[in-house]
């Protein structure tokens, strides 16, 4: 019995084991939460040994293994939140069903600091009086986009709604028929317009709309000319649409006629320069002189869910004062994460933004990772793996025609069907989401970090394939 008691490790020995840190990172428990669990496990073992029970370990290593097994069991039975991390092995970078963008380390740190402490969310520190949350990222957005002013609301749908409601209610908004899009099954330009109380005036046809179509539709009820970026589809063939510059020029011939463009994705980085798609750069659109633009925070920008409205100061000021701005306002965590993400843009540290980094990853880089993955997995029996050339999509209704060259790992189980393996991966403690193609499970590591890569191996190991 004494022998067995001596084999019980001290808590700090468990804490120093790399498996402890890993368990904290990968479970819903913090390190201090896990320490409490470790203490419970040690107390329980001590009690059992004192009761004369043999716990089945002859060496200290075995005892430590047993403790980690018990920690694992505890996590499995007690630590499951409804909303939890998953590993995105689809290669779709902005996967709306999987939470769109991952945040940068700096954004996470900023959110954490703002959550842990009180903050100057609505307190002007230089004047010692009430401030506005709308002003916190206004300056950064001005620097990056070149706009006179900017504000942030709950998401881009909210941004569109606020612009239409506050500036075009009971008046008409002219939109090209080629731009009356539906995005993600729930955002429809025509429906949001109706909800906002603005009246839609459709002009042109699905494939062609000319400047004179807009001109002919303008009357005393017209509040604005609106352009919508057709994010998630492309009309090919004989098409024609009117450039933002032309609309701005047309609107300037009338009094109090606004121009507004809903950009959707909102690229702050010039992907086109890298040969990826033709997404308009936000700063270039602002430079056309357009009165207002809106775009998402968690699509190409790679920040938290939010919607940015940028443009002329007088209009932004009006929007900030609107009652709806209060209804649609963002919380401090969103502002913290957005600010940190924008700072990375300002200083050109775009590699720190996971969404941008993953879109820019070269096929060569992914190939190296995939080869490493396959060699690590070679110890697994009953599975065969191959490296295949393929393409990844950007997702989030962004640049639908773009295919990013990649290498994928095709996994073929010997005992299970590919469907069974796919389901087992999805049901793992940290679910792994891949796709099935022709009796293989396909894993695209474009969106998988090195730590996640090891987790996938562990998961494959634990599924008896
Ligand atoms: C994605 C998108 C929206 C909706 O943005 P959310 O941030 O998802 O609310 C609106 N308009 C366009 C053109 C889009 O691409």
Number of the ligand 1 atom closest to the C-alpha atom of 181: 13
Q: Give the three-state DSSP class for 151.
A: strand
Pairing between β-strand 432-433 and β-strand 435-437 as defined by DSSP bridges:
unpaired
- The whole-number average pLDDT for the span 111-139 is 96
Position 286 scores a pLDDT of 98
Strand 292-296 and strand 307-311: the pairing is antiparallel
- The answer to whether 96 touches 396, Cβ cutoff 8 Å, is yes
pTM of the model: 0.84
Name the residue ranges covered by the structural domains of the chain: 2-78, 87-97+358-462, 105-352
Q: Residue 82: what pLDDT?
A: 85
Using alpha carbons, select from 72, 71, 50 the residue that is nearest to residue 6. Answer: 50
Q: Please name the residue ranges forming H helices in 332-413.
A: 332-346, 354-360, 363-376
Residue 442, helix vs strand vs coil: strand
Residue owning the nearest CA to atom 15 of ligand 1: 264
Q: How far is the CA of 221 from the centre of ligand 1 (A)?
A: 27
The predicted pLDDT at position 26 comes to: 79
User: 75: CA distance to ligand 1 center in Å?
Assistant: 37
pLDDT digits (tens, 9 = 90+) for 289-331: 999 999 999 999 999 999 999 999 999 999 999 999 999 999 9
pLDDT band per the 50, 70, 90 thresholds, residue 2: confident
Question: What region does 366 belong to: left with phi over 0, alpha with psi -120 to 50, or beta?
Answer: alpha
d(CA 147, CA 418): 51
- Average pLDDT on 165-171 reads 98
Bridge partners of 88?
433
Handedness of CA 280, 285, 291, 296 (dihedral sign): positive
265 alpha carbon – ligand 1 mean position (Å): 7
Helices (H) and strands (E) in the chain, counts: 19, 17
- pLDDT category, 182, cuts 50, 70, 90? confident
Q: Which residues line ligand 1 (CB under 6 A)?
A: 155-157, 160, 183, 187, 228-229, 231, 262, 264-265, 296, 307, 397
Q: What is the pLDDT of residue 13?
A: 92
Radius of gyration of the chain (CA): 27
Residue 366 burial by Cβ neighbours in a 10 Å radius (0-12, 13-18, 19+): buried
Q: Give the Cα separation of 144 and 146 in Å (integer).
A: 6
Residue nearest to atom 14 of ligand 1 (CA): 264
Q: Is the pLDDT of residue 74 over 90?
A: no
Which whole-number Å values give the CA distances from 271 to 153, 339, 384, in the listed order? 25, 21, 36
Q: What is the percent of the chain with per-residue pLDDT over 70, rounded to a whole number?
A: 97
Report the distance separating Cα 105 and Cα 354, nearest Å. 9
Other CB atoms within 10 A of residue 341 CB: 30
From 297, 307, 369, select the one nearest 104 (Cα to Cα).
297
Name the residue of 231, 301, 305 to mutate for ligand 1: max ligand atoms within 8 A of Cβ.
Answer: 231
HSE-CB at 206 with a 13 A cutoff on CA atoms is 6
How many Cβ atoms sit within 10 Å of the Cβ of residue 142?
A: 16
Q: At a CB cut-off of 8 Å and minimum separation 6, what does 245 contact?
A: 288, 289
* pLDDT at residue number 67: 93
Query: How much distance in Å is there from the Cα of 202 to the middle of ligand 1?
Result: 20
Q: Where residue 424 falls among pLDDT bands split at 50, 70, 90?
A: very high
- 3-class DSSP state of 348: coil
Q: Find where tokens 């025609």 sit.
A: 401
Residue 464 has pLDDT above 80, yes or no: no
Q: How far is the CA of 299 from the centre of ligand 1 (A)?
A: 9
Q: How far apart are CA 223 and CA 162, in angstroms?
A: 14
C-alpha 64 to ligand 1 mean position (Å): 51
What is the topology classification, in CATH, of domain 105-352? 3.40.640
Enumerate residues 6+ apart whose C-beta is below 8 A from 326. Answer: none
User: Which of 257, 187, 182 shows the shortest CA–CA distance to 221?
Assistant: 257
For residue 32, the model assigns a pLDDT of 80
Report the top-level CATH class of 87-97+358-462: alpha beta
Average confidence (pLDDT) over 153-168 = 98
Atom 13 of ligand 1: nearest residue by CA position? 264
Tokens of residue 102, six digits: 């991952």
Q: What is the mean pLDDT of residues 193-205?
A: 96
**Residue 115 Cα to ligand 1 middle (Å):** 28
198 CB burial (10 A radius; 0-12, 13-18, 19+): buried
What's the mean per-residue pLDDT of the chain? Answer: 93
Alpha-carbon distance of 240 to 16, in angstroms, equals: 64
For 142: left if phi > 0, alpha if psi spans -120 to 50, otherwise beta; the answer is alpha
206: pLDDT strictly greater than 90: no
For residue 186, what pLDDT band results from cuts at 50, 70 and 90?
Answer: confident
Helix, strand, coil % (nearest 5) of the chain?
45, 20, 35
Min mean pLDDT across 54-58, 409-413, 450-454 is at 54-58
| Phi/psi-derived region of residue 447, left when phi > 0, alpha when psi is between -120 and 50, beta in every other case | alpha
């Amino acid at each position: 019995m004494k022998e067995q008691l001596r084999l019980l490790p001290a808590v700090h020995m468990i804490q120093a084991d790399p498996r402890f840190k890993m368990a904290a990172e990968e479970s819903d428990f913090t390190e201090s939460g896990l320490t409490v669990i470790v203490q419970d496990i040690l107390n329980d073992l001590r009690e059992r040994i004192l009761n004369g029970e043999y716990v089945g370990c002859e060496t200290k290593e075995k005892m430590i293994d047993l403790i980690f097994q018990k920690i694992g069991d505890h996590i499995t039975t007690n630590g499951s939140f409804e909303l939890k991390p998953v590993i995105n092995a689809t290669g779709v970078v902005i996967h709306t069903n999987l939470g769109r963008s991952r945040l940068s380390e700096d954004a996470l740190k900023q959110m954490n600091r703002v959550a842990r402490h009180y903050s100057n969310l609505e307190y002007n520190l230089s004047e010692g009086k009430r401030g506005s949350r709308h002003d916190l990222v206004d300056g950064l957005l001005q620097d990056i986009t070149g706009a006179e002013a900017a504000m942030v609301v709950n998401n881009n749908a909210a941004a569109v709604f606020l612009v239409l409601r506050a500036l075009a209610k009971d008046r008409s908004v002219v939109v090209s028929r080629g731009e009356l899009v539906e995005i993600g099954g729930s955002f429809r330009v025509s429906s949001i317009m109706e909800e906002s109380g603005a009246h839609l005036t459709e002009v042109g046809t699905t494939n062609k709309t000319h400047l004179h179509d807009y001109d002919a539709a303008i009357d005393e009820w017209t509040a604005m000319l609106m352009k919508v970026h057709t994010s998630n589809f492309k009309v090919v063939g004989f098409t024609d649409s009117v450039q933002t510059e032309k609309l701005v020029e047309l609107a300037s011939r009338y009094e109090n006629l606004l121009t507004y463009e809903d950009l959707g994705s909102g690229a702050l980085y010039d992907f086109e320069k890298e040969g990826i798609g033709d997404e308009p750069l936000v700063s270039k659109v602002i430079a056309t002189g357009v009165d207002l633009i809106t775009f998402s925070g968690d699509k190409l920008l790679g920040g938290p869910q939010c919607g940015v409205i940028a443009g002329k100061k007088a209009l932004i000021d009006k929007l900030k004062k609107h009652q709806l701005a209060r209804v649609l306002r963002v919380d401090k965590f969103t502002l913290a994460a957005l600010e940190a993400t924008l700072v990375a843009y300002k200083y050109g540290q775009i590699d720190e933004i996971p969404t941008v980094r993953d879109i820019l990853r070269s096929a060569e880089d992914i190939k190296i990772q995939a080869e490493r993955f396959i060699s690590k997995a070679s110890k697994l029996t009953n599975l065969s793996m191959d490296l295949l050339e393929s393409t990844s999509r950007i997702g989030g209704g962004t640049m639908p025609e773009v295919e990013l060259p990649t290498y994928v790992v095709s996994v073929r189980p010997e005992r299970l069907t590919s469907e069974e393996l796919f389901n087992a991966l999805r049901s793992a403690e940290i679910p792994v989401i891949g796709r099935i193609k022709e009796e293989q499970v396909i894993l695209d590591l474009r969106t998988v970090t090195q730590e996640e890569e090891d987790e996938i191996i562990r998961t494959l190991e634990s599924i008896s394939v």
